[in-house]
Structure formats: C-alpha cells, structure tokens
Amino acid sequence: MTFSLYLFFAGHNAPGGGFIGGLMTSAAIVLLLIAYDVKTVKNILPVNYLKMTAVGLLIAVMTGVGSFLFGVPFLTHTFGHFHLPVLGETELATAVLFDLGVYLVVIGVTMTIIQTIGETE
Amino acid sequence: MTLLHWAILAPFLFATFIPLVYKKIPKIHTGWFVLVLPVVLFLYFLQLLLSQKHQETMISTVEWIPSLGINFTAYVDGLGLLFALLITGIGSLVVLYSIYYLSKEKEQLHTFYVYLLMFMGAMLGVVLSDNTIVLYTFWELTSFSSFLLIGYWYHREKSIYGAQKSMLITVFGGLSMLGGFILLYLMTGTFSIRETIANVDTILSHDLFLFAMILILLGAFTKSAQFPFYIWLPDAMEAPTPVSAYLHSATMVKAGIYLVARFSPIFAFSAEWFWTVSLFGIFTLFWGSFNAVKQTDLKAILAFSTVSQLGMIMSLLGVGAASLHFENVQFYTVATLAAIFHLINHATFKGSLFMVVGIIDHETGTRDIRKLGGLMSLMPITFTIAIIGAFSMAGLPPFNGFLSKEMFFTSMIRVLEMDLFRADTWGILLPILAWTGSVFTFLYSMVLVFKTFTGKLQKEKLPKVPHEAPIGMLIPPIILASLVVIFGFFPDLLAYTLIEPAMASVLPSLLTDKDHFHVHIEMWHGFTPELFMTIGVILLGTVLFLTLPKWKKIYNLQPEKLTLNKMYDRFLSTLDDTSSRFTRFYMTGFIRDYLVYIFAFMIVLVGTSMAIQEAFSFNPDHSASIGIYEVILALVMIAGTLTTVFSKSRLTAIIALGSVGYSLSLFFVLFRAPDLALTQLIIETVSVALFLLAFYHLPELKRKEKRLRFRIVNFIISLGVGTIVTLVAISSHSERVSETIASYFIENSYELGGGKNMVNVILVDFRGFDTMFEITVLGIAALAIYSMIKLRLSRREEG
C-alpha cells in the first residue's frame, strides 16, 4: 500500500505514476480480499468503487477545464515550487492532480471488476 | 411567383384542404368541391391559348436552388399548352364522372381526390417546366400518385401487384431519365431545356450524346408503355375506372410522348433517334393491337389499345424527326402533325371509351365480354358513345380518328421516299407493320362494341340488372364523344390554335421568324393510296372479325412461359432468390467466417498495395545489435506462443499465454521501459486470473477437452497476416523518413512538465488528453461489467 503511494508520488521523476500506483493499491485490497472475504473487506473499506471511478474521472477532467481559467488551452499543466508549512519547499504540479484522477479511476475500475465478479455465484 | 406558378401549384395546395372538406361537409360529395379547380385551370389555360396564337411564349422563373442552377422555370409554348389543356380538360370531366362513379358512403373519397389532385399538379408541372430537374421532380410525383391511385383499393391483391409493377417500371425509367438529364447537364452546363436546345451543336458532337439519348428514351418508353415496358399498363387497370381514363389513357402515359416531343429538337438530328423511336413505336403499335384482340376484359382491351395508340404516336414522332433533314419541309412534317393531332384525338375517344366501360361495369357488375351482350336496347346512350369512340379508334370516317389515321398512313408511306438513314430499304417495315397493326386495331374496336352491345342478353350471368346510367355519369363521355365528332368534321378548329404552335415547339429549327407551318386537314383527299389502305383495313378487319373464333387459337402459339409478364415475374422472383441466397451464403452468422473475410481482405489489400507500390524494402542500417538476452527471451516467447497454439488443454494455453506476457514485460525491462514493465506485469497477472475464472466457469456440457482442429484456410490466413504485418513493420522501419520527436520530449520534460519520468510526463502532461479518454474507457469497461453481471434480466422476467 505504501509502496503504491510511493509509486504514485514518484511518478513524475521516477518510474511509477497513477496507473501503476492505482494497480498496486488495488492489489493490496485484493490481498485483503484473499485474506478475508468480500463482506469483511467491504466493512473495513466502505468505498463505493463506482463512485470512485466517477470522482477520478471528474478530477481528471476538471484539471483540464481548470486550465481554461488561466486562459490557456485544455489540459495545459503548470508547476511551481511552494513553501508549505509542514513539508517545507515542495514542488507541486497540476499534472499530479491529473494523475490523482487516473489513480482513482484505476482503483475504482479494478475493484469494481473484481468485486462484481467475486460477488456473483 | 406568377399566376402560372400558382396554376401549377394550385392542385397541391387545393389537395391539402380536401380531407378537411371531406370531414366537415360529409353531406355533399367531395368531388363537387374538387371539380372547381380543374375547370378554373382549364379556363385559365384556354385564355392563354388566345395569346399563344401569335407564337408568344410565356416564361417566368422562381429561384429554387440557384446555386446549382435549379430553378422553377415555368414555360408555356404550344406543346406545353396543348398538354395543359388536355390535363385540365379531361381532368374536369374525370372528376365530374368520378362523382357519380364513386359512392359517397362506401369509398374513402378524400384520399382519392388528394391523390388525383396531386397527380394533376405533378402532370402540369411536367409539361410546363423548363428545368430538367424540376421536370424530373414532377415526373416522379406522377409516378407516385399513379402508384397510390392504382393501389386505391388496397385490400385487393391485384391492385397491390399492379401498383408495385407500375412503380418499379416507371421509377426505373424515371431514374434512367435523371441520368440522361445529368449527362445533358455535363454536356451543356445548364439544366434549362431551352438553353440546351440552343446549345444543340455542342451536344451533337459530344461523346455522351448517345448515352444521354438512350437514358432519356428509357424514361419516355417506360412511362408511355412502349414495348417491352408496356406490361405495367394492363395491370394498372385495377385502378378505379376514372383513374384509368385519366392517367392511363389521356395524360400520364402521354408524359413519355411529351418527353420525346420536347427533346426532339435536341436529339432528332441523329439517325439513332429516328430508328429507335420509330421502330419501337411501330412495333408497340402492332404488338399492342395484336394482343388487344385476345383479351376478354373490356379494360384490358382498352389498355392494350392504349399501348398500341401510344406506339403509333411515338412512331409518328420518330418519323417526323426525319423532316429536319429535308428541304421539302411540308412533305415530311405531316408525321409530326399527325402525331399531335392523334394525341388530341386519342385523348378524346379513349377517355370516352374508358368511361363507357366504367358505366357498363357499374351497371352490370362485370367487364367480361364473355358474359356481356345485347345491351344495345337497354343502354342506348352508352351504346352511341361507344360506337363513336370505337369507330374513331378504328379509324373510320367521319370521325377524327379517320383523319389522323389517314395522315399516319401518309407519313408511313413517305418514309419510303426518304433517302437517308437507309430508310429506303428497311423503311418498308414501317408501313407494313402500321397497316397490319391497323387491321388489328379495327378488329378489337369491333370486338369492343359488338360483343358488348349486340347479340343475346345473358341475364343469368350478370351480377346486376342492367339499365341506363345516371345522366351525370353520361355527361363527360357525351362531351368527349361530341368532341370526337366535332374534330372529325371541323379539324380546322384545332389547326392553328393548338396543332400548329405545338408543331413549332417540336420542330423549332425548321421555322424562321414569323413563319409557321401550314396545317391542312381534310376529310377527302381523293383516291390516294392511304384511302385504299383504309379500305383494305376495313375489308380484312371485317373478314377477320367474322371468322374470329376460327383463328383465335393462334394466340395459344406463344408459350405462356415466354410472355413478357411471366418474364417479369420470373425476373423479380429470381432476383429475390438470388440475392437472399447470396446473402445467406456469406452472412453465415459465424464470427469465424467474418474474421476470415476481414483478415483475407486485409492481406489482399495491404499485400496488393505493397506489391503495386513496390513498397517493400529492407535496410538494416537503423537496426541495433542483438544481445544474448534478447535471443533467449525471444526463444522463450516463441516457445510460449507455440505452446499456446498447439496445446491440448485450455489450462496449458492460459498459462503459456501468461508466460508470453511475462516475457514481454521482461522485454520491457530489457529495453529500458520500467513503467511499461511494471504495468505489463500487473496487467498480465490480472488477465491471467480473469482467464482462469472464465475457464473455471465453462459449461459442463461441451467441456470435452479437444485439440484445436487444424484448418488449412485458417492456417494460410494466419500465416498471411503474420507475413504481411512483418513485412510492413520491416519496410516501415527501413524507410524512416524523418527524425522522431522523442528528442523534444527528452529535452523538455523537466523544463516544461516539471518531471523527470518522461513516460509519465508524456502521459499526463504532453499527451494528457489521450490518458483522459483511456481512463474513461476503463470506467466504461467497469460499468459494463458491473451492469452485465448485476443487471441480468432473466428471460422469464422479461416475458
């Protein structure tokens, strides 16, 4: 799980990114599923994965639409260095937001598929 | 919009109100309201006729699609006006007749009159349009309204059959005609008929001339029921009799005649035109009259008679076209004169005869001549009209048919003296066929009158007790019959009012300014060959009529199978069968077969285009050196692939597939693509798991573990696809033309994207747009799986 988060955040500078991060996260959840059963995992992680997919898509689209606000074409990303209270000097890029969307969609999709198939008998 | 445009469109506008009138005023027969319109239009065109005397033509344009040169140009000249008068005049009489013919209670009158008005407007549009596209539009409208009218009694099977047949044939012709018009446009650059005529020199020498001519003639021949397209007309007799009288004798079938006459100034200079039009016309005349004698249904007799008379007019137009080549104009234009005169005559007597037949049908309940007979004393007025009409049709004096028949013979004899198009040798066919055709014409005219009105009355065979028709039903045929007599005695009434201007439209190039044709029609020419031919017709015709039962067997000589109707039916059913068999042949329903088509097509397409373009090339310059790891991995991969293809059990195949996937991810590692390797690894795992799932749930029934059967076709095709793709890959690699844009990404990924992982920067930043839709694809897939599994409506629930 942590590895997947690492992959996600490292994506911009090292191998990794939203896609693999998302897959890894779902792999972690799948491990939980194997260890317990569908109901238990649902109780632990009360997430509606379909909604998650939708939210991820929304974030991805909104980062694109957001670039309109600054008068630049669709999906133009920018980045900058900010001084945040906790983390100190940090580089933040809007592309990460987009990646977050990808991340959420991938988790949502894989989990939907696996859970749906798992629940049928 | 001038008054003329409104006149053409008036029937359409009027038609929209008919259903309203029918619903609101049910007490009065709807026909009375309809009657107003054609009468008014007739008077309007009659008033135009007076100005027509001085060879003035009216023209006015309303723009429709000016950018394409398609304008609604109304154009009135002698020919158009003649037809307009026929359409509105006969139209008024037919409407009047239909008021008494169609019952107010039993019939759906509003649909009938809407169709009829639609037809009338379309017909006016055909004859008064100068633009070929507009003409075509109205032309198809006549086809459609005719289709609707033939199928008026749509619960009868025969009506539907007749309607469909006429539709197929006339629309076939109409489309050919459209092709002809387009070719004309290509030659001249204009859709206007007048401008086309002005450009006739360019057309004559053009390569497309013959094609345009044939296509336009196809349109004319199908509409005017010429051989071999006449077959729809007898079947169109299932329409109500007013419709048959109006459409299928006086107006619509003459649209083809109109077309030939209208386009004569363009095509008439060529020998092909002369021969095609004359020969098809004269043969139709003979064939139609010959077959008319065989019929037992009165309307069928009239239908074949119409076919034959149309052939006669057509042949006259063809012969008249030859006059363009001669100095001695008056000697040959008599054919055109005869054509136009007979056009008018035919409309009068054929209209009255149809109405007579309608009356007989209405009052006795049958149209079968084997059941009819002895009606003379019961229906004296009808009998008189019938005699006038039939004698005029047979070409007997003193009726107008005699005059036009004499002129017909005259022009056919004069063909022999023509010294062009080799008319002096083969031309002998024309008078011979004309004369024999006339004998049969005489014969069926006599059959029509005498089998119906003389002899014994067979009361027991008739469904109704026969009696004279109501006066309203008799008025229209009486008017027409009196016209027959009047035109017979005073043909000069028509000479300079109608016939001469119409001739001027058909043969405009023969006239200089202020000049006009001399029309001289006389009852008595002296003892000319024509007169003896007529006497011969009457004598032989009488003999044949009296001996009819003895030689009627000759009609059985033509085998049933070889008749045109049977051929048409067989053609349709064969077409049907073949196309469905063809469809069944290649639409097997097996995805396997469709994949074979797709792949085979791909091989052929890519392969031939590579062969034609000589695109294959092999250039190892760009290739990198091959390392030992790559060879090993490739071997592993090949082994996995072979196992997948040749494995006996599915489980082996799945696992082998997984090994292929993992070695692929190793390849990614080897070629330094960590993101791809990671993704490939996980995705492969997931998909193998899903395969196993699918494998586990295979139904028990057919789960026999079977080896993949070897199929030679599949083998060849898969080999072909593999080869082609490899060839394409090698060639395209060898032929790299420009530098890749990769260097740009390498240089700018940190500068612009703010990241060091180039793949990811491309995915989310440079090419983020694609990624967005890829995740959309994933979302859709998840939703689809979710709904496929969760929303299973069992069949029982649905039912």
B441, B305 contact by CB (below 8 A): yes
Give contacts of A98 with chain B, Cβ < 8 Å.
764-765, 768, 771-772
B700 has a pLDDT exceeding 80: no
Give contacts of B690 with chain A, Cβ < 8 Å.
117
Give pLDDT, residue B423: 60
Closest CB from B686, B761, B771 relative to A12: B761
Residues, chain B, total? 799
What pLDDT digit, counting tens, does each position of B459-515 carry?
777 777 767 778 888 888 999 999 989 888 888 777 777 888 888 888 877 766 556
Closest CB from A17, A79, A109 relative to B757: A17
Give contacts of A68 with chain B, Cβ < 8 Å.
none
Closest CB from B679, B682, B768 relative to A98: B768
Residues 206-245 of B with CB under 8 A from A: none
Mean pLDDT of B385-410: 87
Mean pLDDT of B115-138: 92
Stated pTM of the model: 0.78
Element (H, E) at B707: none
Q: Using the 8-state DSSP alphabet, how is residue B498 labeled?
A: I
Give pLDDT, residue B173: 93
Give contacts of A16 with chain B, Cβ < 8 Å.
675, 678, 757, 760
B135 has a pLDDT exceeding 90: yes
Residue labelled with tokens 């939907």? A112
Distance CA B657, CA B652 (A): 8
A79 has a pLDDT exceeding 70: no
Please give the residue that has the higher pLDDT: either B526 or B371. B371
CB atoms within 10 A of CB B791: 7
Please report which confidence band the pLDDT of residue B137 belongs to, taking 50, 70 and 90 as the band edges.
Answer: very high
Please report which confidence band the pLDDT of residue B258 belongs to, taking 50, 70 and 90 as the band edges.
Answer: very high
> In the numeric block, which tokens belong to residue B320?
């008249």
DSSP bridge pairs for B73? B61
Q: Using the 8-state DSSP alphabet, how is residue B513 labeled?
A: T
B330 has a pLDDT exceeding 70: no
Single-letter amino acid code for the residue at A68: F
Single-letter amino acid code for the residue at B602: M
Give contacts of B683 with chain A, Cβ < 8 Å.
23
Please report which confidence band the pLDDT of residue B682 belongs to, taking 50, 70 and 90 as the band edges.
Answer: confident
Q: Using the 8-state DSSP alphabet, how is residue B459 labeled?
A: G
Give contacts of B779 with chain A, Cβ < 8 Å.
53-54, 56-57, 105, 108-109
B599 has a pLDDT exceeding 50: yes
Residue whose C-alpha is closest to residue B336's, from B498, B503, B517, B197 = B503
Measured CA to CA in angstroms, residue B791 lies from A38, B784, B794, B797 at distances of: 20, 10, 9, 12
Burial label for B535, CB within 10 Å (0-12, 13-18, 19+), is: exposed
Q: How far apart are the CA of B744 and the nearest CA of chain A, in angstroms?
A: 17
User: Roughly what angle, to the nearest 10 degrees, separates helices B334-364 and B471-489?
Assistant: 160
* Cα nearest neighbour of B767 on chain A: A75
Helices (H), B396-528: 400-415, 423-426, 429-453, 471-489, 492-494, 500-506
Distance CA B2, CA B432 (A): 49
Closest CB from A11, A23, A113 relative to B760: A11
**B782 in contact with A, Cβ within 8 Å:** yes
Residue B338, phi then psi, degrees to nearest 5: -65, -40
Residue whose C-alpha is closest to residue B256's, from B208, B325, B306, B195 = B306
Residue of B774, B775, B785 to mutate when probing chain A, most A C-beta within 10 A: B775
Distance CA B486, CA A114 (A): 96
DSSP bridge pairs for B217? none
Give contacts of B783 with chain A, Cβ < 8 Å.
50, 53, 112
B129, B72 contact by CB (below 8 A): yes
As a whole number of angstroms, the longest Cα–Cα distance in chain B is 116
* Cα nearest neighbour of B685 on chain A: A27
Distance CA B138, CA B159 (A): 24
Distance CA B338, CA B320 (A): 9
> In the numeric block, which tokens belong to residue B714?
């599949």
B49-53, B538-542, B628-632 — most confident range = B538-542
Burial label for B788, CB within 10 Å (0-12, 13-18, 19+), is: exposed
CA atoms within 13 A on the CB side of B564: 16
Residue of A13, A24, A119, A121 to mutate when probing chain B, most B C-beta within 10 A: A13
**B777 in contact with A, Cβ within 8 Å:** no
Among A12-21, A107-116, B349-358, B679-688, the minimum mean pLDDT is found in A12-21
Give pLDDT, residue B53: 54
Please report which confidence band the pLDDT of residue B168 belongs to, taking 50, 70 and 90 as the band edges.
Answer: very high
Please report which confidence band the pLDDT of residue B148 belongs to, taking 50, 70 and 90 as the band edges.
Answer: very high
Give pLDDT, residue B799: 44
Q: How far apart are the CA of B742 and the nearest CA of chain A, in angstroms?
A: 17
> In the numeric block, which tokens belong to residue B638?
């090949």
Please give the residue that has the higher pLDDT: either A81 or B267. B267
Distance CA A61, CA B566 (A): 67
Among B345-359, B407-421, B695-709, the minimum mean pLDDT is found in B695-709
Distance CA B133, CA B136 (A): 5
Angle at B728 between CA B724 and CA B734, to 5 degrees: 145
> In the numeric block, which tokens belong to residue B13?
């506008």
Mean pLDDT of B710-737: 80
Mean pLDDT of B122-151: 92
Distance CA B336, CA B510 (A): 12
Non-local (6+) Cβ contacts of B529 within 8 A are B409, B413
Mean pLDDT of B198-227: 87
Residue whose C-alpha is closest to residue B182's, from B205, B140, B216, B138 = B216
Give pLDDT, residue B367: 85
Residue of A49, A77, A91 to mutate when probing chain B, most B C-beta within 10 A: A77
A17·B754 Cβ contact <8 A: no
Closest CB from A13, A23, A109 relative to B781: A109
As a whole number of angstroms, the longest Cα–Cα distance in chain A is 53
Q: How far apart are the CA of A119 and the nearest CA of chain B, in angstroms?
A: 9
Residue whose C-alpha is closest to residue B445's, from B394, B404, B483 = B394
Non-local (6+) Cβ contacts of B462 within 8 A are B364, B365, B366, B371, B372
Give contacts of A50 with chain B, Cβ < 8 Å.
782-783, 786
Residue of B678, B683, B749, B760 to mutate when probing chain A, most A C-beta within 10 A: B760
Mean pLDDT of B584-596: 84
Residue whose C-alpha is closest to residue B280's, from B143, B405, B147, B430 = B430
Element (H, E) at A84: strand A79-84
Give contacts of B693 with chain A, Cβ < 8 Å.
117
Three-state secondary structure readout of B533-579: HHHHHHHHHHHHHHCHHHHHHHHHHCCHHHCHHHHHHHHHHHHHHHH
ipTM: 0.79
3-state secondary structure of A87: coil
B765 has a pLDDT exceeding 60: yes
Burial label for B171, CB within 10 Å (0-12, 13-18, 19+), is: middle
Three-state secondary structure readout of B234-274: HHHHHCCHHHHHHHHHHCCCHHHHHHHHHHHHHHCCCHHHH
B178 has a pLDDT exceeding 90: yes
Q: If you average pLDDT over every residue of chain B, what do you get? A: 83
Q: How far apart are the CA of A77 and the nearest CA of chain B, in angstroms?
A: 6
Among A100-109, B117-126, B438-447, the minimum mean pLDDT is found in A100-109
A113·B785 Cβ contact <8 A: yes
B52 has a pLDDT exceeding 60: no
A31, B690 contact by CB (below 8 A): no
B526 has a pLDDT exceeding 70: no
A75·B768 Cβ contact <8 A: yes
Q: How far apart are the CA of B111 and the nearest CA of chain A, in angstroms?
A: 57
> In the numeric block, which tokens belong to residue B654?
């799945």
Closest CB from B755, B768, B782 relative to A109: B782
Residues, chain A, total? 121
Closest CB from A54, A56, A99 relative to B764: A99
